[in-house]
Structure 1
Amino acid sequence: MPSPPDTADDFLPEALRFVAPAALVDIGANLTHQSFAKDRDAVIARARAANVTTLILTGTDLEHAEQAVELARQTPGLYATAGVHPHDASRWDSTLARGMRDLHEQPETVAVGECGLDFNRNFSTPADQERAFEAQLGLAAETGLPLFIHERDAGQRMLEMLRAWRDDIADAVVHCFTGERQTLYGYLDLDLHIGLTGWLCDERRGHHLRELLGDIPLQRLMVETDCPYLLPRNLPAKLKGRRHEPALLPWIVKEIAHWRGTDETELARATTATARRFFRLETAP
C-alpha cells in the first residue's frame, strides 16, 4: 500500500468532504494499521470534521490491541477492542490469553475481539480458529464485555458455537456482515447486532446485501468503515492511494439509507444510539 501523503489537505479531495447529518460512531477502524502511521492525527481530525465523533479501534492481535488501547487512552472519543483475529488463531496460547485478559480490564477496552471464524482463507486451520474463538467466548462471558465478531464463509459453524454460548455472553455484533439471508436471520434470532461497511457500496458484490437491509431492525444495526480496507466504490471522486478512513463513513450511511428507503438523519441517529448503548459508551471514560 502506498505511503500516505504528508498533509491532510492533499489526501482528501474537497468532493469527498461530506459531513454526516448527525454524529456517527465508526465501530470498526483499524487505525493502528501502518498506513496511518504518518498522519493518524490528521485522520482523526478529518473524521471529526465529517461528524464521525466516536471511533472504536479494532484490536486484532496482542500488539495492535495494546496500541489501540494506548491510542484510546490518549485521545477523547476513541475506544478499543482487544482480541485475536481468526487469521492469527494458531498463535493462541495461555500467554496470549493472559495478555488479552489484562487488556479487557482496561477502561478503554469496550469489547472482546476481533475474533471469530474465517473459512474463506483459512490462514489458521478451522480447528485452531474454533479453539481460539471458544477461548475468547469464555473471556467475554468472564468479563461481561460485548463481542466483536468476524465471520466469513463460516455462518453455520458460527451459529452453532454462538447458540451454545448465547446465555453466557452479553451483546455481540457480527462486524462487516457479508453473509446470506439465512445466516442473517440466524444472527437476528440470537439477538445479535449487525455491522455494515462499504462492502454494500460495491456493485460487483454488494447486491445481495442491499436486498437484506430492510430486514435488519434499526436497533440492531451499526455502521463502520473497517478502514483502511473496503474503500466504498460509490465515492464521487478518486482517492489517492485508495486508503479508506473514518471521514468517509457518511458515504456508507448515505448508501445504506438509500437502499433501506430511510432518512439519512434518522439512520445516523439510530445507529449512533445503538452503538453507544452496545459499547456502553455513556459510562466509558
Structure 2
Amino acid sequence: MNTVVLFDTHAHLNDPAFAGDLEAVIERAGEAGVKRIATVGYDLPSSVQAIKLAKRFKGIYAVIGLHPHDATALDEDSLYQLEVYAREPEVVAIGEIGLDYYRDHSPRDVQQEAFRKQIRLAKKLGKPIVIHDREAHGDTMQIIKEEKGGINGGIFHCFSGSWEMARQCITLGFHISMAGPVTFKNANKLLEVAKMVPLDRLLVETDCPYLTPHPYRGKRNEPARVRLVAERIAELRGISLEKLAEATTKNAMEVYQIAPELSLCHD
C-alpha cells in the first residue's frame, strides 16, 4: 500500500499540454501518492481555467495571477477582475507573480509595478503569494521588503537562488519550493539549498508540463513526477521519503491555508 502523500504545490494543469488526457494525468498522480495539486494561472484566462479545474476535482486548488511575461496586461479592469476571481473559495493564493529578467517579455518597470499591485491585492485579501523570480533576485527581494509581501506567507516557486538568498526569503516569511532541477547532475547550488532549508519551510513541485526531472528530461512533466523530486531531496537530507512527504505536505497545507481534506478524486 502506498503510504506516501505528496502535494504538488505548483502545476499548470490548465496548460494545453494536458488538454487530451487530463483525467489520466490526475489518476496517475493519485497512484503516485500525489493527493493534492495547486494549479497555477499566468494570465486571466488560465486563472479562470485553474478555478474551473479546482471546482471540478477534489484535491485541486487554484492559484491565480498575472505572470511577469503578461505584466503589460495588468490594467485597472484586469486587476479588478482578478480580485473578483480571487474571492472564489477554491483560490488559495495570488500567483504566479514576480519578475523575469531572463526573457524580458514585459518592460522591467512594468513588471515591477504589476508585481507590487498584485502583492497589495494579496495583502488586501489575506492570501499568500507565489513568486516567479528568474534572474531578478535583487529587485524581487527589494520589492518584497518594501511591500511587506510575506505578511500572509508565500512561496518562492522553483527556487533558483543561493542558500543565503533562501535564508533571507525564510526570514521574510516565505517557503522554498523545489522542482525538477534538483535532480539534474549540474545542480550544485540547488543541492545545498535542498539540504539546508529547514524542513518546516520546504515544499516540492513539478511546474509541469515544464522542468521534467531526471531521468525523464525532454518529456512532458506531470504531477506524478513530483515524487522523483521528493525522493531526491529525501536522499540528499538522509531521511525517508515518508518523512519528507509528510513534512512538505503539512507545510503546503499551512501556507495555502487549506483545512485537511479527502484524497484527490473526481468530484
Q: TM-score range by the shorter chain?
A: over 0.9
Q: Are 1:171 and 1:278, in contact at CA under 8 Å, matched by a contact in 2?
A: yes
Structure-2 separation of matches of 1:23 and 1:182: 30
- AA aligned opposite 2:6: L
> Aligned pair 1:212/2:193, yes or no?
yes
**1:199 positional shift:** 1.0
**1:20 positional shift:** 6.3
> What TM-score do you get using the length of structure 2 for normalisation?
0.93
Structure 1: 5+ residue stretches without partners: 1-18
**1:54 positional shift:** 0.4
When the two chains are superposed, the root-mean-square deviation of aligned CA atoms in Å is 1.8
- AA aligned opposite 2:65: G
> Aligned pair 1:31/2:13, yes or no?
yes
> Aligned pair 1:223/2:239, yes or no?
no
State the partner residue of 2:172.
190
Structure-2 separation of matches of 1:21 and 1:158: 38
Q: Secondary structure at the match of 2:58?
A: coil
Q: How does 1:78-157 map to 2 (within 5 A)?
A: 78-157=60-139
> Aligned pair 1:274/2:255, yes or no?
no
Q: Are 1:107 and 1:284, in contact at CA under 8 Å, matched by a contact in 2?
A: no
Structure 2: 5+ residue stretches without partners: 263-267
- AA aligned opposite 1:270: A
State the partner residue of 2:163.
181
**1:181 positional shift:** 2.7
> Aligned pair 1:252/2:195, yes or no?
no
Structure-2 separation of matches of 1:262 and 1:164: 37
- AA aligned opposite 1:75: F
State the partner residue of 1:7.
none
Q: Secondary structure at the match of 2:152?
A: coil
**1:185 positional shift:** 2.1
CA distances 1:39-88 after superposition (whole Å, capped 9, x unpaired): 00110011011110001000111000000101110111111001000111
CA distances 1:79-138 after superposition (whole Å, capped 9, x unpaired): 100100011111110111011101110000000111001111111111010010010011
Q: Paired residues, what number? A: 262
Structure-1 separation of matches of 2:104 and 2:149: 28
Structure-2 separation of matches of 1:181 and 1:62: 33
CA separation of 1:20 and 1:252: change in aligned 2, threshold 3 A: farther
State the partner residue of 1:232.
213
Identity among equivalent pairs (%): 35
Structure-2 separation of matches of 1:73 and 1:230: 26
Q: Secondary structure at the match of 1:45?
A: helix
- AA aligned opposite 2:78: L
Runs (4+) of structure 1 moved beyond 3 Å?
none
CA distances 1:241-269 after superposition (whole Å, capped 9, x unpaired): 71000111111100111112222111000
Q: Secondary structure at the match of 1:151?
A: strand
Structure-1 separation of matches of 2:52 and 2:74: 22
**1:168 positional shift:** 7.4
Structure-2 separation of matches of 1:20 and 1:129: 43
- AA aligned opposite 2:209: P
Q: Secondary structure at the match of 2:239?
A: coil
**1:283 positional shift:** 7.0
Q: Are 1:137 and 1:169, in contact at CA under 8 Å, matched by a contact in 2?
A: no
- AA aligned opposite 1:227: C
> What TM-score do you get using the length of structure 1 for normalisation?
0.88
Structure-1 separation of matches of 2:120 and 2:192: 35
- AA aligned opposite 1:84: L
Structure-2 separation of matches of 1:268 and 1:210: 18
**1:228 positional shift:** 0.3
- AA aligned opposite 2:166: L
| Structure 1 stretch displaced more, 109-118 or 155-164 | 155-164
